[in-house]
Amino acid sequence: MMASSTPYAAAGVLAVMVAALCLHGAAAQLVEDYYDDTCPDAYDIVKQTLIEAHQSDTRIYASLLRLHFHDCFVQGCDGSILLDNMTGFQTEKEAVPNMGSARGFPVVDAVKAALEDACPGVVSCADILALAAEISVELSGGPKWGVLLGRLDGLTSSIAGANNLPAPFENLTVLERKFSDVGLKDLVDLVALSGYSARTSLIPRRTGSTTSAAQICLTRP
């Protein structure tokens, strides 16, 4: 993703907005130094794994950022998008906005494995997604921010919630409501975040299209 100053600015807003989004519904206080004592190399381990993944998949940073967004928008940032299907239990992965387009799961698994080697049972999957999103923005040339940590992993997955993620065909009224429902009440949040999605979606896509859903969001009345 070769970005101009415009997406840099958008990513700056993104840092604040994603933090707000992640705090939505979280009961505990998140802090930047949560793993400083228990897993001091966590940040570097995640970063190294992402850099290695990027060597064979240049789209991975964008995909990991989107994964975090799709996790946070459904019952908060609890890692529930990572849960796999079990008998009688439909998951967020199977929801329309995720099925076939949410990607990066093997890289998240690789990060988790590396962290388990270094400090078993310490870093939550929800925090891995948050760290991966922040590091992805940073490695893409965007700003760096102190991502807040200390999330607990969710034990449930909501396919209904995931099916309610913002969709490319929805009008501004509906999108405003959906962002507002997760605590992003300022229209600026919607425009900044959707603009970021539009920009990152200029990366060559598996569909070959360069028009993202969020671009449509922004141009619809």
166 is in an annotated binding site: yes
> Does 147 participate in binding ligand HEM (rule CB under 6 A)?
no
State the maximum Cα–Cα separation within the chain, in Å, rounded to a whole number: 51
CB 122, min distance to ligand HEM, A: 26
Q: Which is nearer to ligand HEM, 39 or 190 (CB)?
A: 190
148 closest CA partner among 166, 161, 133: 133
98 binds ligand HEM (CB under 6 A): no
The reply to whether 214 sits near ligand HEM by the rule CB under 6 A is yes
Give residue number: closest CB to ligand HEM: 197
Q: Is 76 annotated as a binding residue?
A: yes
Rg (CA), the chain: 16
- Closest to ligand HEM by CB, 42 vs 130, is 130
14 part of the interface to ligand HEM, by CB under 6 A: yes
Specify the stretch interacting with ligand HEM by CB under 6 A; choose among 5-13, 62-70, 121-129, 156-164: 62-70
Q: Whole-number minimum distance, CB 123 to ligand HEM, in Å?
A: 21
Q: Do residues 197 and 208 touch, judged by C-beta distance below 8 A?
A: no
The pair of structure tokens assigned to 144 is 């760096």
Q: Does 175 bind ligand HEM (CB under 6 A)?
A: yes
The answer to whether residue 70 is catalytic is yes
Please give the Cα distance from 68 to 209 (Å, whole number).
23
Is there a contact between 150 and 34 (Cβ–Cβ < 8 Å)? yes
Contact 127, 149 (CB under 8 A): yes
The residues of the shown chain that bind ligand HEM, judged by CB under 6 A, are: 14, 18, 59, 62-63, 65-66, 69, 101, 103, 166-168, 175, 193-194, 196-197, 200-201, 203, 205, 212-214, 217
Active site residues: 70
